[in-house]
Amino acid sequence: MRHYYTKKFGSAFSVTVVPTLKDNFSYLIHDHTTHTLAAVDVNADYKPILTFIEKHLQEHGHVGDKRHLRFILTTHKHWDHAGGNATLKAELEAMNKSESVIVIGGANDSIPAVTQPVREGDRVQVGELSVEVVDAPCHTRGHVLYKVFHPHRPNDGMALFTGDTMFVAGIGAFFEGDAEDMCRAMEKVYHINKGNDYALDPVTFIFPGHEYTAGFLSFAERTLCDRASDDLSFLQAQKEKYAAAVKRGDPSVPSSLAEEKRQNLFLRVADPAFVTLMNRGSQHALMMHLYNTCD
């Protein structure tokens, strides 16, 4: 049985990992000040999101009312990330006829039931939280990432919802893009905290679309060319940690951006020193090599 897991970001907000389907993750964002809720990547298996709201939030003294679920954020158009949008929206609006549910998704991605198309640089308010949109076309041409944080409490941390662009230690398939597109996406993730000299990397947490961690870490362990580096022992320790979590039924997510900069070889393509170390030519050539050799 796969379990829920809630990651708290100080007193500002929390993100609950909601396992769905075979290996998907949906998420529930809870603004602790206004109790506004937002669901991320809703597929047809959305009932576990409502169950968590009704039972777990009430048990912990929070407002456990589905009517507070006012937003659906969708990273991309695929059925296992967006297939529940219309049904959940209709169900919630039938409960509370005076309130509409806002469905947010990439303007270039034909998101089911979308009411607010977004693109790079757009910002949405979820209660007191800011949601910034980052374009990341490759897996699909309109894939977006969502950067969520409290604007007045940046040190509480940031949640980055990466859908099928980036996983723990890995990336998604190039269905509608190529290695150059993925390199651009990884550059954006790698440098997302550049403005504060990367000080927030340890409290920036990655929430991807699937439980693919074990396979990607095994790939990284056997592919890293510097066998004597501290990074190899780090990868091995991470692999054991995540395996133990999954054995308990816990999700392997989230991981911090600081961890990803050590364990995700695809993300590290954004680091020129790593490109040189791997000795595969250009950044794009290295990305293509990693993509083609990862099983």
Residue 43 to residue 21: CA distance in whole angstroms: 8
Query: Residues 164, 181, 201, 231: which is the catalytic one?
Result: 164
CA nearest to 72, candidates 122, 111, 33: 111
| Antiparallel, parallel or unpaired: β 170-171 and 166-167 | antiparallel
Single out the catalytic residue among 30, 139, 143, 150: 139
Q: Is 3 a residue of the active site? A: no
Determine whether 164 is an active site residue: yes
Q: List the catalytic residue out of 32, 68, 78, 143.
A: 78
Interhelix angle 213-223/283-293, rounded to 10 degrees, is 120
Instruction: Provide the sign of the torsion angle of the four alpha carbons 255, 50, 131, 140, taken in this order.
Output: positive
> Which position among 30, 32, 68, 76 bears the catalytic label?
76
Residues 221, 232 contacting (CB under 8 angstroms): yes
**Token pair 């309109």: residue:** 142
Catalytic site residue from 68, 143, 150, 210: 210
- Of the candidates 30, 32, 68, 81, the residue annotated as catalytic is 81
Known catalytic residue at 76: yes
> Residue 292, exposed/middle/buried by CB under 10 A (0-12, 13-18, 19+)?
exposed
DSSP-based three-state secondary structure for 263 = helix
- Whether 139 is catalytic: yes
In angstroms, the CA 17 to CA 145 distance is: 17
210 has catalytic annotation: yes
Residues labelled as active-site residues: 76, 78, 80-81, 139, 164, 210
